[in-house]
A = this chain, B = another copy of it.
Amino acid sequence: MTKRSSLPRGVAVVGAGMCKFGAFPEKSSRDLFVEAFQELVKSVDKGFDPLSIETVYVGNYSGELFEGQGHLAPLMVDAIGLTPRPAVRVEDACASGGVAFRQGVMAVASGMYDSVLVGGVEKMTNLPTAQVTDALGTAADTLFENPAGFTFPGFYAAIATAYMHKYGMTPQHLMKVTLKNHENGALNPKAQFNVSIPGWMKGRVDAAIKKGKPVPTWQTVWDFLQDDAANPMIAWPLRLFDCSPVTDGAAAVLLVPAERAHEYTDAPLYVIGTGQASDVALHSRADLTTLNAARAASLTAYEMAGVTANDIRIAEVHDCFTIAEVVASEDLGFFAPGDGFRMADEGVTSRLGPKPINTSGGLKSKGHPVGASGVAQIIEVWKQMRGEAGERQVPGGVPLALTHNVGATGTTCVVNIFERR
């Protein structure tokens, strides 16, 4: 494949917003999208006329299956008052948001547009969980994989098992990822579960006392995370707290040409690298402990950006399951193969460590409205790079950050790299 070292026209993020993530039975996808857009409008430091937006991309995995609504893009554009702007829905399973962002980057880089809105949205919680699992399952290879009984917890359990076998990781190592991401999410008011594991435990104890029920006897987080009642096994070795939740949510960012960024803000994020790759379905792969698409996408993005994995200060990675974060930290070149779980164990990836991963709380704690997640990763990068992440702010400044968004079992991966100058 021909590779180029830079975009023909620079692209910058100058606005970003997201709604609170969670379960909102009374809200439709358009309500969520409007909330994210309204926050975006306020986020533009020097103000701007929303009607100057020229085209809109919407990342969405399956409005059809989750909400019975296809053709979502023009409806979202109508909801935010931007009809007749072109409206394009982009779908690559759980990478839909990140891929939509990348299309927005191309739209600006192509010279066709000077103001592009990229949103992601998913409305998932109105269906029973089993139906959500089935809907998500259509992102796999339904001719060859689903008939064998696989759903996504099973796929990632297979990845975890292969990884444990190859590198000696234990299920307890994965719990360190859970603990870290909930610790971060506890500091993120937009997170679906903005509570640490100790906080969660305390909440359960308090509730039991209040209701006069038997009080749980967990002494440590390890007691809690290994309690089959509190943290049931979903697909061995993955327990409930290894899995990201079912979430309603939306996020949106505003893209403009780099040379015009300062009309909007003195603190833009420059998109200096973007890469995307596909892979064969999981059952066809020789090695389950790495995602080829993540490696390929990150190499493309690093090459375009002219940076290396070492240069990245923080990363938001696709932790749909805890094992996915471990594998991602290796695929992105942060750590050598087999070192990812040790680095998580040693706190290297914690918020105050040398390589913070998922300071937002990740999909695990922030929530995973699938089509929105790739865009929501960029919201966190926006806040951290601009020093607006509040209690969870990474110290010392964030000049370079990366987002890593995966579709299905890595059949799609998209990586974007951002710079604050």
The copy count of this chain in the complex is 2
Contact A84 B277 (CB under 8 A): yes
Determine if A198 is an interface residue (Cβ-Cβ < 8 Å).
no
Determine if A203 is an interface residue (Cβ-Cβ < 8 Å).
no
Contacts of A69 in B (CB 8 A): 138, 142-143
Contacts of A92 in B (CB 8 A): 71, 73-74, 87-89
- Give Cα A420–Cα B180 distance, bound, in whole angstroms: 60
- Give Cα A109–Cα B110 distance, bound, in whole angstroms: 5
Contact of A68 (CB < 8 Å), options: B1, B67, B89, B138: B138
Contact B109 A278 (CB under 8 A): no
Contact A279 B84 (CB under 8 A): yes
Contact A112 B7 (CB under 8 A): yes
Determine if A339 is an interface residue (Cβ-Cβ < 8 Å).
no
Contact A138 B64 (CB under 8 A): yes
- Give Cα A63–Cα B113 distance, bound, in whole angstroms: 30
Determine if A114 is an interface residue (Cβ-Cβ < 8 Å).
yes
Known A92-B71, A93-B70, A107-B106: A278·B86 in contact at CB below 8 Å = yes
- Give Cα A68–Cα B238 distance, bound, in whole angstroms: 26
Residues 99-120 of A contacting B (Cβ, < 8 Å): 99, 103, 106-107, 109-115
- From A136, which residue of chain B is reached at the shortest CB distance? B70
- Give Cα A63–Cα B142 distance, bound, in whole angstroms: 11
Residues 155-174 of A contacting B (Cβ, < 8 Å): none
Contacts of A281 in B (CB 8 A): 75, 78
> Could you list some 9 contacts between A and B, CB below 8 A?
A4-B111, A8-B112, A64-B64, A84-B293, A85-B277, A86-B276, A87-B92, A89-B90, A110-B111
